[in-house]
Amino acid sequence: MPRALPYLLLLPASLFLLVFFFYPFGLVVVESLTRGGEWTTENFTRMTAHWKFSQAFWNTVWLAAIVVPVQLIMALTMASVVQKLKTGRSGLLYIFAIPLGISDLAAGLIWLAIFEQSGFLNSILHGLGVIDRPQLFLGYQSLWVIFLAVCLAEIWRATAIMMVIIVAGMGLIPKEYNEAAEVFGASRWQRFTKVTLPLLRPSLQTALILRILMAFEVFAVVVALGGTTLPVLMGETFQWQFQLQDRGIAAAYAMVILGLSVAFSLVVLRLLHVPKGARI
Amino acid sequence: MAEIVIKNVAKRFGAFTALHSVDLTIADQEFMVLLGASGCGKTTLLRIIAGLETPSQGEVWIGGRRVDHLPPRERGIAMVFQNYAVFPHLTVFENIAFGLRMAKLPQAEVERRVKRTAELMHIEQLLKRYSGELSGGQRQRVAVARALAMEPDVILMDEPLSNLDALLRLEMRAELKGVLAESKTTTIYVTHDQVEAMSLADRISVMNGGYIVQADRPTEVYRNPAARFVGSFIGNPPMNFLPAQAQGAGRWQVAGLDFDGPAAGAAEFAIRPEDLHPAEAGLRAEVRVVEPLGPHVLVTAQVAGQPFRAVLESDHQISPGEILTLAPIPDRIRWFDPETQKAIA
């Protein structure tokens, strides 16, 4: 009986996941591959044929490609600094973690309040005499500004989650490795690249996968800052599901996001693989 | 040539003083052991020499060069850590090669040195493994090989054997002594194990409360402790101490027995447990516990109400409750000043 007990205790949660996650997930898969009750790939061909698809696809990929590495570098830098602190460490962690408590839509709205025509940025520039009338920063003529604003909002919002994971990971590395590297001639940078980073691989895996998944699901921030001017995959899924009422194509979009997430997660797992016996 | 000179070095952590003004000179190629209980400052001193800790005051010189302002890598040292610190993400080969690669040695030289030190430490068959696949003893060998591969002037060792089991420790101890003597480096070795210290050291620095109490050859430290602490710390079981009453003219009464002692002042009588033998006349000892140890028997007794131990030949039949008269070997008797705790010559 004691041997079965842990499984019994996990049973409700497992059932819950099976019923409310995998079942709807299965439905979406079926939805994406059927049309009018027939098995078909038509949803996918119609999705890719639409002029917005490749824009949405590449916007999403580019956002992830820019935001995630920038966040990784920032999170590593911040974590290294936090790691060195003797006092006030937890206080700083709390401050850094504040954006984590804000929903992505709220984050988008905060940055909208900065960039919009009557926003803070316009007020400041006007106050400084740089401009004589409010500028339209987030218009469809200047897509790159919207793109940049989304990048900023995403970096502001979600760097902390990576940092928290990395700080925890750095805390697990015994100090002696760094000291040994120091005694055996490694400079500060070499200690970081040759000791800290390799030993941090498990944490980097977690942080990167979590962050990449979030990046492919970017939605509310984009909607708040650009409406549908800057199409992204998740936005298109929403559009097809609710505006255009085509659940088949919406399901196909969802499958594309899933495919990207799985593919990149596998790449991260592969690149940051730690051989057996090489763990701390 | 790598003589190490420590001048007036102190280390304070806030209000706590880990090391009080320490002076110590370690000769080229000498094997110096820093011995003391935990918290005595021995590891702090080692880390200051390594450059992993900055002294609050004082100077450190290695090979005629002042190094206390230099980072560890510019000091010509190598170190073996207590928990080995064998990098888990590198193979044994790359671990041993780590310092050589940092020094940008040519590949052929790196391979030659890794091969040589791996053979020396008998780990040549493990070179492709990761540390997670090694036993504690093997990791220890990798850590030593990594230090030796640097061909350093000075090797620092921080309790390198303390995580090994007793049998392995004995084996590694003998091996280390041989390997280090051959490498002709100056060695500073931190331990709390007095047997290890005795068996390895050319000289032992006994440390207590942030001071070096005595720095001398092992037999000297054992036979002629400079302070009461050294006598009570070194030796298993440690020295016996008994109060002595002055009888005048260098005569002292200890537990009802008269001895020749210091000319004047106050004094405490001290004798090692193995420097006693049963005799017609001697200290009256009431036996409490008898522990046969094979070649010897350890007797715990009371003399004049004080705990007192004697190590006797095992052919004596002794049982608890018995009264023994134990005679100290006259020239092994030591005297300490109860005020300063220092030995009286």
Alpha-carbon gap, residue A229 to A245, rounded angstroms = 20
For B274-328, the pLDDT digits (tens) are: 999 998 888 999 999 999 988 899 999 999 889 999 999 887 788 899 999 999 9
B81 vs A184: CB contact, 8 Å cut-off?
Answer: no
CB B318 within 8 A of CB B299: yes
Q: Mean pLDDT across the stretch A125-144?
A: 84
For A166-219, the pLDDT digits (tens) are: 999 999 999 999 999 999 999 999 999 999 999 999 999 999 999 999 999 999
Q: Which of A177, A183, A277 has its CB closest to that of B129?
A: A277
Locate the chain A residue with the closest alpha carbon to B158. Answer: A176
The C-alpha of A180 sits at a distance from chain B's nearest C-alpha, in angstroms, of 6
Q: Is A214 on the interface with B (CB under 8 A)?
A: no
3-class SS of residue B24: strand
CB A188 within 8 A of CB A251: no
Q: Is A186 on the interface with B (CB under 8 A)?
A: yes
Q: What is the DSSP letter of A239?
A: I
Q: Which of B99, B131, B133 has its CB closest to that of A184?
A: B99
Count helices and strands in chain B by DSSP H and E runs:
8, 20
**pLDDT at residue A100, rounded to an integer:** 81
Q: Mean pLDDT across the stretch B251-263?
A: 88
**pLDDT at residue A103, rounded to an integer:** 86
HEC readout, A181-215: HHHCCCCHHHHHHHHHHHHCHHHHHHHHHHHHHHH
A182 vs B103: CB contact, 8 Å cut-off?
Answer: no
Q: Mean pLDDT across the stretch B217-231?
A: 94
**pLDDT at residue B169, rounded to an integer:** 87
Q: Which of A185, A195, A278 has its CB closest to that of B73?
A: A185
Mean pLDDT score across all residues of chain A: 90
B102 vs A182: CB contact, 8 Å cut-off?
Answer: no
Query: Which residues, other chains included, contact A3 with Cβ-Cβ below 8 Å and sequence gap of 6+?
Result: none
Q: Could you tell me which residue, B5 or B261, shows the higher pLDDT?
A: B5
Alpha-carbon gap, residue B25 to B39, rounded angstroms = 22
Residue B285, both tokens: 């000892």
The C-alpha of B130 sits at a distance from chain A's nearest C-alpha, in angstroms, of 5
Is residue B345's pLDDT more than 80? no
For chain A, state the CA radius of gyration: 23
> Long-range contacts of range B220-224, CB-CB < 8 Å, 24 or more positions apart?
B222/B198, B223/B332, B224/B334, B224/B343
**pLDDT at residue B184, rounded to an integer:** 87
Q: Is A72 on the interface with B (CB under 8 A)?
A: no
**pLDDT at residue A143, rounded to an integer:** 85
**pLDDT at residue B1, rounded to an integer:** 64
Q: Which of A176, A185, A280 has its CB closest to that of B103?
A: A185
3-class SS of residue B52: coil
Q: Which residues of B lie inside 8 Å of A (Cβ-Cβ)?
A: 50-52, 71-73, 77-79, 81-83, 85, 87-90, 98-99, 102-103, 129-133, 146, 150
> Burial level of B168, CB count in 10 A (0-12/13-18/19+)?
middle
CATH superfamily of this structure's domain A50-271: MetI-like (1.10.3720.10)
Q: Mean pLDDT across the stretch B260-265?
A: 84
Residue B246, both tokens: 């002055």
Is residue A113's pLDDT more than 70? yes
Is residue B171's pLDDT more than 90? no
CB B263 within 8 A of CB B250: yes
The C-alpha of A15 sits at a distance from chain B's nearest C-alpha, in angstroms, of 37
**CA distances from residue B268 to A4, B117, B234, B263 in whole angstroms, order as listed:** 68, 51, 18, 13
For B139-170, the pLDDT digits (tens) are: 999 999 999 999 999 999 999 988 888 888 88
A278 vs B132: CB contact, 8 Å cut-off?
Answer: yes
The dihedral region occupied by B31, where left means phi > 0, alpha psi between -120 and 50, and beta the remainder, is: beta
> Burial level of A86, CB count in 10 A (0-12/13-18/19+)?
exposed
Is residue A137's pLDDT more than 90? no
**pLDDT at residue A1, rounded to an integer:** 63
Residue B52, both tokens: 């992993």
CB A205 within 8 A of CB A272: yes
Count helices and strands in chain A by DSSP H and E runs:
15, 2
CB B130 within 8 A of CB B86: no
Q: What is the DSSP letter of B342?
A: B
Sign of CA dihedral A207, A209, A215, A217: negative
Q: Mean pLDDT across the stretch A147-151?
A: 92
Residue B303, both tokens: 């003399």
For each of the domains in chain B, give its residue range(s) and CATH number, in order of start: 4-233 (3.40.50.300), 240-336 (2.40.50.140)
Q: Which chain B residues are within 8 Å of A201, Cβ to Cβ?
A: 89
Residue A136 pLDDT grade (very low, low, confident, very high; cuts 50, 70, 90)? confident
Q: Which of B79, B83, B146 has its CB closest to that of A174?
A: B83
Query: Which residues, other chains included, contact B317 with Cβ-Cβ below 8 Å and sequence gap of 6+?
Result: none
Locate the chain A residue with the closest alpha carbon to B103. Answer: A185
Question: Residue B225's closest CA among B210, B208, B246, B243?
Answer: B208
Query: Which residues, other chains included, contact B265 with Cβ-Cβ below 8 Å and sequence gap of 6+?
Result: B337, B344
Q: Which of A183, A187, A279 has its CB closest to that of B50?
A: A183
Q: What is the DSSP track for A18-80?
A: IIIIIHHHHHHHHHHTEETTEE-SHHHHHHHHSHHHHHHHHHHHHHHHHHHHHHHHHHHHHHH
**pLDDT at residue B202, rounded to an integer:** 94
Is residue B132's pLDDT more than 70? yes
A179 vs B130: CB contact, 8 Å cut-off?
Answer: no
**In this predicted complex, what is the ipTM?**
0.85
Mean pLDDT score across all residues of chain B: 92
Q: Is A181 on the interface with B (CB under 8 A)?
A: yes
For A48-63, the pLDDT digits (tens) are: 999 999 999 999 999 9
3-class SS of residue B128: coil
A183 vs B102: CB contact, 8 Å cut-off?
Answer: no
Alpha-carbon gap, residue B345 to A258, rounded angstroms = 85
**pLDDT at residue B248, rounded to an integer:** 80
Q: Which of A179, A185, A187 has its CB closest to that of B52?
A: A179
Alpha-carbon gap, residue A201 to A214, rounded angstroms = 20
Q: Which chain B residues are within 8 Å of A183, Cβ to Cβ?
A: 50-52, 72-73, 77-79
Q: Is the peptide bond before A275 cis (omega within 30 degrees of 0)?
A: no
B78 vs A177: CB contact, 8 Å cut-off?
Answer: no
| pLDDT over 70 percentage in chain B | 100
**pLDDT at residue A249, rounded to an integer:** 93
